[in-house]
Chain A
Amino acid sequence: MKPVSLKYYTLRYFSVIIPLVIALWAASFYWLIVDEVYDNIDDGLKDTELRIKDEITKNPKLLKTNEFGLAKFKFTELNPGDYEYKRHIYNAQMYMEYDGDDEPIRMLQSIFQFNGKNYQLEIYASTIEEDEFAFNLFLSLAGLYFILVASMVLLNHFVLKKVWKPFYSLMDQMGSYKLGEKNRIDASPGRISEFAELETGINEMIERSEKIYLSQKQFIENASHELQTPIAIMGNKLEMMLTDENMNENQLSRISELLQDLSRLKKLNKSLLKLSKIENTQYNEVSVQNFNRLTHEIFDELNELYAEKGLKTEIREDGIFEFEMNPELSNILLGNLIRNAFIHCPTDGNIQIHITETQLEIKNSGDSALDADRIFERFYRNSKSSKSSGLGLAMVKSIVHNYPNLSVGYRFENQHIFWLRKR
């Protein structure tokens, strides 16, 4: 199920619960009111009964009232017999002329003896129309429901929005948070203790991860630094063995192979060291770098080195690309990008570099696109080639990461294109 926003989630619950509560409340309210109303009417009827009975002792003619008229009561003389003298109140219907319909009434029926004769006294009072009352109640409750829901929506919209503001700000900041940038979350939680706690909790978590991240980075740098010396000693000893006159060709060839493996280890370690130095931002000195000049230098060098490959290479310049950065980093950045093209370009392929004022594109022949999402990852290699350390482009990415106004990317348009752009 697709998650809904906090606002609608609470609203959904309320819109279900409120009608239930209102219905329950309406039923008991209705029952209470009706009970109270009947109680009231009954008291009135009983009072009238007493007054009438009082009155007949003074004016026995009243007993002749045997039709409901103005007085809303009547007497009926009962046949002689044994009667239980008691009062009885009940609901009934009576035809009312004013609206030509039966209307609900409350009827008091009392049997009593007067001067040795039995009479039945009936008094009525018109009561509320229950169905109309129920309907009106329903209408007003429905109104109440809509008003409640509407105010809930408004509450959600304005009050909750205000109340949850720190939360949303927190969420925003969490989204843009990047490990290693040492930023703290500030949600300005105001007086809401839960948000203040959440903020503290998150900041503590960030601090812990930052610490771990930092020590890990430091560890990689220290480890590769410490590895340098044993690698150096090993290499030098192997080299010394090569100069030993007692070695036969087979042994020499083995040693040379060992030296090649060691050389790979050495380069890998150097790259790791450089990479962690870049990530630990140890290159602070900056000056304006002319990428055109740098490109020519690297390009010429590589053209000479890769002469055997028979590549067709070209630099097109439509502007001067200048950028203020650390000279060593600009060298690594361009060197890795351009070397990458030379390494992976097939024999007799093409390499083109196109420089404008804001962009530098390096294109080289190739038949299928690389995974643009993963190509800048550490140790990501196209399965076909194991020529490189797998750190060159990762280094490019880390360098660019240090300069917010620089971006780098890859796309495939019948050839591989790496671009470097000023923002």
Chain B
Amino acid sequence: MKILIVEDETEMAKTIETSLEQSGYRVETAADFRTALDKIISFQYDCILLDIGLPDGSGLDLLKELKTMKKDDAVIIISAKDSVDDKIKGLEFGADDYLAKPFHLAELNARIKSVIRRKNRQEDEFLNYKNLAVDFENRLVKINDKELTLNRKEFDLLYFFLTNPGRLIAKTSIAEYVWGDHAEDSDSLDFVYSQIKNLRKKLQQNGAEIEIQSIYGAGYKLI
């Protein structure tokens, strides 16, 4: 899987790059419009992370170029401008997702997996991990082909862990992924704990081979 990061903040690009490489992607970076355009023309990527505000142009124009070249690389806009208008504009121009800065790397992982899965329809609809199969589009979970009923938040949690296997995820990352805009309340961390507890119980009772391990004080890890 090949990913292009178009981001003018080198520090930012570097961290994302390292994180994605750890997750097993091949990563390239472009710090300005020209370099990005060259790379887009010359290569095919599974996913492009696109910053809108570039020093010599707008990320949105890159998006337009992609469309005129009839390329179907998945695109996730990463923008410091967190506004619905921007988001709508980005999606209208053909982006697959929109992630406002600052974001958690674990969340970026989840989003990248989602858009790539959506692009590659020919693949199996299910994401398989050990004896678990998850269909994100239809929000279905199967353990050994037996369907498992989860509520919305439990499903989101499971999906978040499955897209970040083996990675220690901080409590705050989980809270923000599950709670979104509502994560302002500090109670959200406690509630995350109980939601994970419920999810664990359901997984265990239904014979799942996966385990959500809690790393004391730091967060959780899917193993």
Contact = CB atoms under 8 A, between A and B. Distances in A.
A and B: interacting chains = yes
Interface of A: 225, 228-229, 231-233, 235-240, 242-243, 249, 252-253, 255-257, 259-260, 262-263, 266-267, 270-271, 273-274, 277, 282, 285, 301-302, 304-309, 327-328, 335, 339, 342-343, 386-389, 392
Q: Which 9 A-B pairs have the closest CB atoms?
A: A253-B217, A232-B102, A252-B218, A256-B218, A263-B172, A236-B15, A328-B84, A228-B80, A259-B170
15 contacts: A231-B102, A232-B101, A233-B12, A236-B19, A238-B170, A239-B104, A239-B173, A242-B219, A243-B167, A249-B217, A249-B218, A252-B168, A255-B218, A256-B219, A308-B190
Given A267-B183, A388-B184, A260 B218 contact: no
Given A239-B19, A252-B168, A335 B181 contact: yes
A305 B153 contact: yes
Interface in B138-169: 151-153, 167-169
Given A228-B101, A232-B102, A232-B103, A343 B185 contact: yes
Interface string B120-138: 0000000000000000000
Nearest to A236: B15
Given A253-B218, A274-B82, A301-B182, 10 more contacts: A229-B12, A229-B101, A236-B12, A243-B167, A255-B218, A305-B188, A306-B191, A328-B85, A339-B182, A388-B184
Interface residues of B, number: 50
Contacts of A225: 80
A232 B160 CA distance: 20
A263 B102 CA distance: 10
A277 B187 CA distance: 28
B108 to A, nearest CB: 9
Contacts of A277: 83
B216 interface: yes
B80 A239 contact: no
Chain B binding surface SS class? helix
Contacts of A307: 191
B99 to A, nearest CB: 11
B184 A239 contact: no
Contacts of A301: 182
Contacts of B19: 236, 239-240, 243
Given A252-B215, A253-B217, A260-B172, A233 B184 contact: no
A271 to B, nearest CB: 8
Contacts of B205: none
A270 B82 contact: yes
Nearest to B183: A267
Contact of A252 (B103, B104, B183, B217): B217
Contact of B168 (A233, A243, A285, A386): A243
B202 interface: no
A228 B105 CA distance: 15
Contact of A237 (B15, B173, B175, B185): B15
B42 interface: no
Nearest to A327: B84
B171 A256 contact: yes
Contact of A235 (B102, B190, B216, B217): B102
Interface string B184-214: 1111111100100000000000000000000
A98 B219 CA distance: 126
B216 A233 contact: no
Interface in B2-61: 9, 11-12, 15-16, 18-19, 22
Given A240-B15, A240-B19, A392 B173 contact: no
A237 B14 CA distance: 10
B55 to A, nearest CB: 13
Nearest to A344: B185
Contacts of A228: 80, 101-102
B93 interface: no
A301 B182 CA distance: 9
B176 interface: yes
A263 B176 contact: yes
Contacts of A260: 170-172, 189
B218 A242 contact: yes
B186 A387 contact: yes
A327 B87 CA distance: 13
A26 to B, nearest CB: 81
B11 A233 contact: yes
A239 B179 contact: no
Given A242-B168, A308-B190, A266 B215 contact: no
A233 B9 contact: yes
